[in-house]
Amino acid sequence: MPNTFEAFHVKSSGGGYDVVIGDVVDLVSQAGLSDMVVLADVRFKGRLPVGEDRAILIQSDETEKSLERMAPLIERMKAMGVNRKTHVVAVGGGIIQDIATFVASIYMRGLRWTYVPTTLLAMVDSCIGGKSSINVGKLKNLVGGFHPPEKVIVDTRFVDTLDNQQIIDGLCEAAKICYARGVFSDFHAAVANKTTTADLARDIVLRSLSSKRWFVEEDEFDQGVRLLLNFGHTFGHAIEAASDFRVSHGVAVGIGILVAHVRAERAGRYSRGRNPTFDALASYVETLLYNLPGLTDVLTSLRPMDVVSKFEGDKKHWADRFRVVIPVDGDHLELTEFPRSETERSEISEAFAGAFARVGASMSRV
């Protein structure tokens, strides 16, 4: 399939951008960028479309996407002669994307850029939407902005080198997006029928991105319906942070979906058996996560008070109320508020414990 590609357009305030699925080498050379600098995951060293003098290689770990690390990166770009005409090409997963979006938005008041996602999670979710999220110390995704790329190039062959957990990361996010858009049943049938990874990736990317595109175009700046895509995230971020990021983002979101489910049931907002599509989503996520090597050990080692305290620190809450997306009767999602109270803290802790049990882990009671 190297020379065939599919493309679609995403409308945004900056005029919009194209997402193209095809061969990255062909597509970058066709773009004819005369002055470019590549920000890439260090794992792609020696495989980039530019010489080493035009590439900045970055280790993809959470400490690299922190505000503290942005100044040295910007100084390095300046030393390389990057100017307002330079086009940034970012090659990597969500960490490289967050760094590139942020730096491209502020360097000399903004550079044009192209994104090449290399993880399934980035291909199915983060590559569109234009958001950057940067950590401040240990505070995850505290600062950021919106600066969409000029083009997104999805080359699904990058999926070939991902491990099982990285594939599950992408599947959890894609399943969540498709459920939020009301097309989970089609997604579910498609993943069950595809056997090869490349085939599967192409199909999932198209389903997931066309669903996400609807949210991004309806609510580019995250003020209304796009907030539903935070489903699984407020709970998931708490698991990522409490585990010192030993639980990866997509897996944490998968568990977060189950936490939301338990909390909704305990609040009397959700009845099992009356929401067939959500029941199918929850059981799909459980199947992906159950027996994922190492996961139960990490989850079992977490202290409930740490998980709840990370949950409390999420930026989406109000001063007196927690705000979370939960599944509700009628088989849809709702942004709901719970009072910040001792009773609610213990409910949240119970919901984490219930979700951990569903993926084969137990949570200590202290």
Ligand X SMILES: NC(=O)c1ccc[n+]([C@@H]2O[C@H](COP(=O)([O-])OP(=O)(O)OC[C@H]3O[C@@H](n4cnc5c(N)ncnc54)[C@H](O)[C@@H]3O)[C@@H](O)[C@H]2O)c1
Site residues for ligand X per CB under 6 A: 41, 43, 60, 62, 65, 92-98, 118-119, 121-122, 125-126, 129, 131-133, 141, 158, 161-162, 166, 169, 249
Tell me how far apart the alpha carbons of residues 239 and 150 are, in angstroms, rounded to a whole number. 33
Q: Quote the least distance from Cβ 362 to ligand X, whole Å.
A: 27
- Give the residue with the Cβ less far from ligand X, 160 or 342: 160
Q: How far is the CB of 350 from ligand X (least distance, A)?
A: 26
Q: Least distance to ligand X from the beta carbon of 131, Å?
A: 4
Q: Which is nearer to ligand X, 65 or 261 (CB)?
A: 65
Residue type for position 80 = M
SS (H, E, C) the chain: CCCCCEEEEECCCCCCEEEEECCHHHHHHHHCCCCEEEEEEHHHCCCCCCCHHHEEEECCCCCCCEHHHHHHHHHHHHHCCCCCCCEEEEEECHHHHHHHHHHHHHHHHCCCEEEEECCHHHHHHHCCCCECCEEECCEEEEECCECCCCEEEECHHHHHHCCHHHHHHHHHHHHHHHHHHCCHHHHHHHHHHCCCHHHHHHHHHHHHHHHHHHHHHHCCCCCCHHHHHHCCHHHHHHHHHHCCCCCCHHHHHHHHHHHHHHHHHHCCCCCCCCCHHHHHHHHHHHHHHCCCCCHHHHHHHCCHHHHHHHHHCCCCCCCCEEEEEEEECCCEEEEEEEECCHHHHHHHHHHHHHHHHHCCCCCCCC
Give the C-alpha separation, 215 to 229, whole Å: 8
Residue nearest to ligand X (CB): 94
In the block, tokens 């580019």 appear at 220
- Measured from the CB atom, the residue of 86 and 97 that comes closer to ligand X is 97
Beta carbon nearer to ligand X, 169 or 286: 169
Of 111 and 253, nearer to ligand X (C-beta) is 253
Instruction: Compute the least distance from the CB of residue 141 to ligand X, in Å.
Output: 6
Smallest separation (angstroms) from ligand X to the CB of 226: 11
Choose between 118 and 243: whose C-beta lies nearer to ligand X.
Answer: 118
Residue number, 10 or 262, with CB nearest to ligand X = 10
Would you state the structure tokens that stand for residue 304, as one six-digit string?
Answer: 């409930």
Whole-number minimum distance, CB 200 to ligand X, in Å? 15
Query: CB of residue 250 vs ligand X: minimum separation in angstroms?
Result: 6
Q: What CA–CA distance (Å, rounded) separates 301 from 297? A: 6
Closest separation in Å from C-beta 55 to ligand X: 15
Question: Residue 114 or residue 126: which is nearer to ligand X going by CB?
Answer: 126
Instruction: Please give the distance of CA 138 from its chain centroid, rounded to a whole number.
Output: 18
Nearer to ligand X (CB atom), residue 97 or residue 211: 97
Question: What angle in degrees, to the nearest 10, is found between the helix axes of 197-218 and 184-193?
Answer: 170
Q: How far is the CB of 344 from ligand X (least distance, A)?
A: 26
